Amino acid sequence: MHTRSNAPSLLALCALLAASSACKHSGKDKATSTDVVDTVVVPGDDTHVKSEEPKGEMLESSEYRFRLTSPGPGWQLQDRQQIQQITPDAQVGLAHTKGVMAVVIVERAAGMTVQAMTDLIINGMPLENKQIVAREDDEYLGLPAVRYQLTGNISDIPMSYSGRVFLREGYAYQIVAFAAKGVAEQSLIDEVFDNFSLTEGKIEPKSEHQQRVDTDGVGWRLKGGVFESAVSGLRVTPTEGWRAVVGAEARRINADAEVVMVNNSPEAYFFVLPELIGSASPEVYRADRLAQNITAMKGEIKQETYPGKILGEEVQMTQLSSSDFPWVFQVGVGFHDGWAVQATGWYSSSFGEEGKKAIHTAIGNVTRMSAADVAKLREELLAQPDQQNQVGANHSLRGGVYEDYEHGVRWTKPLGFWEVYAGHAARDVNPIAQLYARYQNSSAHMLLVAEDLPPGTSAAEYHSAAFSGVSKNLNLKAKKRAVRATIGSGAALLSDGMTEAAGIELYYRVITAVQGSHGLQLHLWGPAAGISQHEKALSEVAKKLELLDTLTPTSHKGDRFIEHRLGYSLDLPSQYRYVDATPAEIAGIGSFATWGVDGKDWVGILALCMIEEGQDEEWSLDFMEGRIKESYAQLLGDKSAARSEEDLFGLRARHLVWTSPGVHLDAYLFRRGKTIFALMATDADQGTDMIGLAKRGFSFLN
């Protein structure tokens, strides 16, 4: 039965949770810090100084010479360790119970103008449907600055951003406040900028950084700071300030690279991209790689070549620089056994030979694993449960299964290292795609488009339109007439052809199907040199697709509620009425469901798929606990919770209990994959074991 929720609103929590993406054009370091309570904290320093500000808490950086003060009630300061779990580039941050978040980011910007720096920042923000609402030159803290406002979507959540950018002693400062669109009034956002100030002294960044926790990904492992790939057989052992980065932080630097590294002293970035090229001309491929870097630069480009080594092989390195561009690039490409290995690094032109030396160190940090080590790592990674987990408003990816609830599509990943991008991540590749995946380090690619069709569209008409559009855009050659094929167990049509890019011969295949009012396009492509090797894998892609008449994000089976999108079920007696209490602000990343009787006692499950690779479990539980306290502040007041840890559903869970006359709130917090759960219950007169009822009825799917 669907009825009005009898649980308190989580609106204040929801907007805050959307802030999981960096607001900067590339990744940076993390450093340790100390917790703050009514003190000034200097990140990277053990010194605590009593605050002289009447407003209370503040954070002060002795490295970058600034101070961020809490504006007052509702605001919570985030030190470096806390904020970098959400935004890896940030120094400090602020969070408000109404859903506003703010970060302070500082980076080297020698030789740049504040306008050029703002361009880089705005262009690099990973937002869908990005719109610049306002941008103007301004003055901030007595310095020339740029003020901007923009909107865009993260994980299907509409967001609003306000920022200030200014330069000081060769460094760019960003203060960025953001929230779900329409959640907070401008006066609240302005409090962030009113409470940031500069302090006296020389800017002296430290080279300390904190490694993210050990983690495994699709075909790779990061353990003890060492990165290993079972796909390319590369191992990265960082030295001299370098560190390997993975997941979203790596994708923000280069989405296609196998290896990504960052250094903060000097500030430099580096990646390695292996690519199967078959018999393609090394000269043509190398020229294309250089051209791509040149396109990203401005002004008259100066090229200097010199001998170097990549993975022990002699190569020609090229340095690209321009007086009108703040970064210097070092680019090299090695070739062996039909593969090209591109190594690219860049740094601020102000670092000169120091930056160049840092890139050479990074290249030396990358070595080949032995065949035995690669085989062992591959076996270990393939034996693990699938690591990818992502949800959107109308889809989920969990346990190797993708489901599109809007179009009735289910796809199960074939065996092997398929890295999958769903929803907004897929649309970064193609604006109409629902799903994109790449196999074995880009040896093969797949892209899925599901769409509504005009009434009466035939399978032949749909296939002809889809393939002719691709053929024209890619200038396909050696095309074959459409043949009958299958998608899952259903009839489909298949056409393929050949094309070329950067001197590499590529095959391209399009398979389409029509079911009712829905059309499905499956695009498969990759280097022609690998088609025979991966033909079986590609045929499995189509076999694993299902077109279903009905596929819903939630369902009921008797008294059992099933949350297919977030991966759990709850079985309660029939008198407990189900309410979908999910606010619009988090519909793209999670859900909040409640069950109650007579508006008094209730059970609630908050599930949020928001964790990125490398974010540790303790932080995610702390984060959820903090948001629950803020959301139920009116109910709980300043009461502290009784805390304990338990094993629950095979996971480590944090148990929190708030008890007082008329109030009893029980909460279990736990994490599975990239989803955080809060299993909650209230029992006003403590006459019913509501949390016990919830625990007995809860279970995970697959």
Question: Cα separation of 205 and 219, whole Å?
Answer: 35
Question: Cα separation of 34 and 423, whole Å?
Answer: 37
> Tokens representing 489?
């167990």
pLDDT higher than threshold 70 for residue 35: no
Largest CA distance in the chain: 79
Give the mean pLDDT of 673-700. Answer: 88
Beta strands in 169-294 (DSSP E): 171-180, 196-198, 215-217, 220-223, 226-229, 234-236, 242-245, 259-264, 267-276
Give the pLDDT score at 71.
94
Question: Cα separation of 344 and 21, whole Å?
Answer: 24
- DSSP, res 185: -
What is the overall mean pLDDT for the chain? 84
Give the pLDDT score at 671.
93
What SS3 class is residue 189? helix
Give the pLDDT score at 555.
96
Give the pLDDT score at 685.
63
Q: Identify the band that residue 27 occupies on the pLDDT scale cut at 50, 70 and 90.
A: very low
Question: Cα separation of 333 and 323, whole Å?
Answer: 25
pLDDT higher than threshold 50 for residue 31: no
Q: Give how far Cα 429 sits from Cα of 18, 134, 405, Å.
A: 22, 28, 21
Which helix H or strand E contains 658, and what residues bound it? strand 651-660
Q: Which residues sit opposite 303 in a β-bridge? A: 320
pLDDT higher than threshold 50 for residue 493: yes
Give the pLDDT score at 686.
58
Per-residue model confidence as pLDDT tens digits over 512-542: 999 888 899 999 998 887 777 777 778 889 9
Give the mean pLDDT of 678-697. Answer: 86
Q: Is pLDDT larger for residue 41 or for residue 421? A: 421
Other residues' Cβ atoms within 10 Å of the Cβ of residue 518: 17
pLDDT higher than threshold 70 for residue 666: yes
CA 261 vs. chain centroid, Å, equals 17
Per-residue model confidence as pLDDT tens digits over 133-152: 999 999 999 999 999 999 99
Number of H helices, E strands in the chain: 14, 47
Give the pLDDT score at 41.
32
Q: Identify the band that residue 36 occupies on the pLDDT scale cut at 50, 70 and 90.
A: very low
**Contact call for residues 563 and 553 (beta carbons, < 8 A):** yes
Give the pLDDT score at 88.
74
Give the pLDDT score at 7.
30
Per-residue model confidence as pLDDT tens digits over 320-343: 998 877 789 999 999 988 888 999
Question: Cα separation of 234 and 608, whole Å?
Answer: 34
Q: What number of CA atoms fall less than 13 Å from residue 162's CA on the CB side?
A: 18
pLDDT higher than threshold 80 for residue 49: no
Share of the chain above pLDDT 90, in %: 52
Do the bridges between strand 560-563 and strand 554-557 make them parallel or antiparallel, or are there none, so unpaired? antiparallel
> Tokens representing 241?
């300030």
Per-residue model confidence as pLDDT tens digits over 633-643: 667 777 788 99
Give the pLDDT score at 64.
94
Other residues' Cβ atoms within 10 Å of the Cβ of residue 501: 13
Looking at mean pLDDT, say which of 145-159, 189-203, 473-487 comes out highest. Answer: 189-203
Q: Which residues sit opposite 690 in a β-bridge? A: none
Q: What number of CA atoms fall less than 13 Å from residue 263's CA on the CB side?
A: 28
Give the mean pLDDT of 667-682. Answer: 93
Q: Worst-scoring range by mean pLDDT, 111-120, 464-473, 649-658?
A: 111-120
pLDDT higher than threshold 50 for residue 24: no
Per-residue model confidence as pLDDT tens digits over 215-259: 888 999 999 999 999 998 999 999 988 999 888 788 888 888 988
pLDDT higher than threshold 60 for residue 26: no
Which residues are CB-neighbours of 639 under 8 A, at least 6 positions away? 658, 660, 663
Give the mean pLDDT of 282-286. Answer: 91
**Contact call for residues 80 and 15 (beta carbons, < 8 A):** no
pLDDT higher than threshold 60 for residue 608: yes
Question: Cα separation of 596 and 604, whole Å?
Answer: 9
Per-residue model confidence as pLDDT tens digits over 66-122: 999 999 988 989 888 888 777 777 899 998 877 888 999 998 887 788 998 999 899
Looking at mean pLDDT, say which of 5-19, 117-131, 626-640, 681-695 comes out highest. Answer: 117-131
What SS3 class is residue 364? helix
**Contact call for residues 181 and 160 (beta carbons, < 8 A):** yes
Q: Identify the band that residue 626 occupies on the pLDDT scale cut at 50, 70 and 90.
A: confident
Share of the chain above pLDDT 70, in %: 89
Sign of the alpha-carbon dihedral angle for 45, 50, 54, 56:
positive
**Contact call for residues 448 and 436 (beta carbons, < 8 A):** yes
In the chain, what are the helix, strand and coil shares in percent, each to the nearest 5? 20, 45, 35
Give the mean pLDDT of 564-575. Answer: 95
